[in-house]
A and B are shown apart, each in its own frame.
Chain A
Amino acid sequence: MFNNFFHKLASPKYFYGISGRIIPWVAGACLLLVLAGLYQGLIVAPPDYQQGDSYRIMFIHVPAAWMSLFIYVVMAGAGAIGLIWRIKMAEIMAISSAPIGASFTFLALVTGSLWGKPMWGTWWVWDARLTSELILLFLYLGIIALHGAIEDRRTAARAVAILALVGVINIPIIHFSVEWWNTLHQGPTVTRFGKPAIATSMLIPLLLMALAFKLYYVFLVLMRARCELLEREANTGWVRELVEPK
């Protein structure tokens, strides 16, 4: 049954239909989580004893940074599946992820800068964490540009998948940069073995926002994938039926 579901999901017509029905629910759940996260993070959670209220930037910064890595891995994985098995939906998922990943990377960098200024006294340092995250942004932008530069959709998808796979090397570098090199950036407080080094009242909004951003990605990648599908399949019967039901 499960196999059958994935098989059907790979069919453009079925995907278009089911994603259209899923999107409002994902968007609604995402909105509720954002509101709960903002309430917990901006109102309920107390100021930090060292950083005062500035640490509240974390509730955007950390989930955005997590998403920037997560989306990259999903994109490279979908690209690989498209490359190996020539599944059209996988190619579409890969390229639809790129602009969303770029947005989260941009947010992680900008909010990090806005947090760094009052805490470190500088907007930017060329340390390992910041530099590797900046490279991630360039990877995303490169992938978007490469896709736009190649006319044929399937060739473009293959080129994008290869570039994305080469760029995967950057992901562990970003993740471990704060442990491998001495840096201004603080180490991980949540994603480490054992107990998270963060108060529960601050962990709850952080996790709420992280979950909200995940749903936001699902919501957006489905929206983008539907557009990409319409563009690619504009001349097929099911799309014509869609715009002009018999």
Chain B
Amino acid sequence: MNLNEFLHMGGYAFYVWTSYGIALVVLLVNIIAPTRQRKKLLAEIARKTRRARRE
């Protein structure tokens, strides 16, 4: 099987690759969101703790 044939997916390339593409995007966004949220939360808590100690 060559690469062209593989990408062509027997004529169903649009449907197959769109499905896999959307799945990839959705699954990645789901990983990125909580990773960023945790960093933000930790930074926020650290800032509040520092401020509380100064007072």
Contact = CB atoms under 8 A, between A and B. Distances in A.
A, B bound: yes
Interface size for chain A: under 10, 10 to 19, 20 to 34, or 35 or more residues?
Answer: 35 or more
Interface in A202-238: 216, 220, 223-224, 226-227, 230-231, 234
Given A47-B10, A54-B15, A234-B45, A111 B34 contact: no
A217 to B, nearest CB: 10
Interface of B: 1, 6, 9-12, 15-16, 18-20, 22-23, 26-27, 30-31, 34-35, 37-38, 41-42, 44-46, 48-50
A112 B37 CA distance: 31
B49 A244 contact: yes
B30 A220 contact: yes
A61 interface: yes
B49 A111 contact: no
A36 B35 CA distance: 25
Interface stretch (A6-14, A98-106, A137-145, A178-186): A98-106
A172 interface: no
B26 A103 contact: yes
28 contacts: A43-B1, A52-B12, A53-B11, A54-B12, A56-B9, A56-B16, A57-B16, A57-B19, A60-B19, A64-B23, A100-B30, A103-B27, A103-B30, A107-B22, A110-B22, A111-B19, A117-B15, A118-B12, A220-B34, A223-B34, A223-B35, A226-B38, A227-B41, A230-B38, A230-B45, A234-B45, A242-B42, A243-B46
A54 B19 CA distance: 10
A239 interface: yes
B41 A231 contact: yes
A99 B22 CA distance: 16
B49 A114 contact: no
| Shortest 4 CB-CB contacts between residues of A and residues of B | A53-B10, A54-B12, A243-B46, A223-B34
Contacts of B22: 107, 110-111
Contacts of A43: 1, 6
Nearest to B5: A53
How would you classify the secondary structure of chain B's contact residues: helix, strand, loop or mixed?
A: helix
A189 B20 CA distance: 22
Contact of B11 (A52, A61, A103, A239): A52
A240 interface: yes
Contacts of A72: none
A9 B15 CA distance: 44
A129 B35 CA distance: 34
Interface in A95-138: 99-100, 103, 106-107, 110-111, 114-115, 117-118
Contacts of B41: 227, 230-231, 234
